[in-house]
Copies of this chain bind each other. A is one copy, B any other.
């Protein structure tokens, strides 16, 4: 029998190891699997490479993971926000590595890993400083750069509903990087607001088919990251 349901966030992240590459869904707080990230903070594994669009806010979620010195390198498109304090400080001190990737290239590199495409060409970043070190090539009289897939050992993803097969649906713009990170990681770990029975999700409406998911844990009342930041909360609390 297929049963991907884990009993706790700690059980769900138990396999994550030192030095792993971990994708984390979310666009800012929307879709950020904050409870899974906090379980990872509790676990304390180190030298992680994190792939995520942003670099966290305040002192909770991804920012807490970084502040806890568990992240060696971050691959992201936008590490700068008004309430991002942890990453900038470590970055300026040279204590965390940054690979800055245009957002669409980041998304496509993630999707490519999931789709078995090792590399592709894109026009994004041509004639800018971010083309540096990349192979260039012309197709139909336009210049493109070669970009490589980003593979991950784990993905931490937040969704709205899941079943024991790992079929997922998302909520509004919290979908963002979730579906493609599920595809790209060897082990995808999902926190769902609600776990439903197999058959409750219409096959036409499934966004992430269960084949891309290894573990699901129900987190019925996920924390609201922006409220925690507003309240100046710190994790671990």
Contacts and interface: CB of A to CB of B under 8 A. Distances in A.
Interface of A: 108, 112, 115-123, 139-140, 142, 144, 148, 169-172, 203-205
A108 B118 contact: no
B120 A119 contact: yes
Chain A, interface SS category = mixed
Contact of A119 (B108, B121, B172, B205): B121
A120 B112 contact: yes
B123 A120 contact: no
B108 A115 contact: yes
B121 A139 contact: no
Q: Which of A122, A170, A203 has the most CB of B within 10 A?
A: A122
Given A148-B139, A169-B204, A122 B116 contact: yes
A171 B204 CA distance: 8
26 contacts: A108-B115, A108-B117, A112-B120, A116-B122, A116-B123, A117-B120, A117-B121, A117-B122, A118-B121, A118-B139, A118-B140, A118-B142, A118-B144, A119-B120, A119-B121, A119-B139, A119-B144, A120-B120, A120-B121, A139-B148, A169-B204, A171-B204, A172-B203, A172-B204, A204-B205, A205-B205
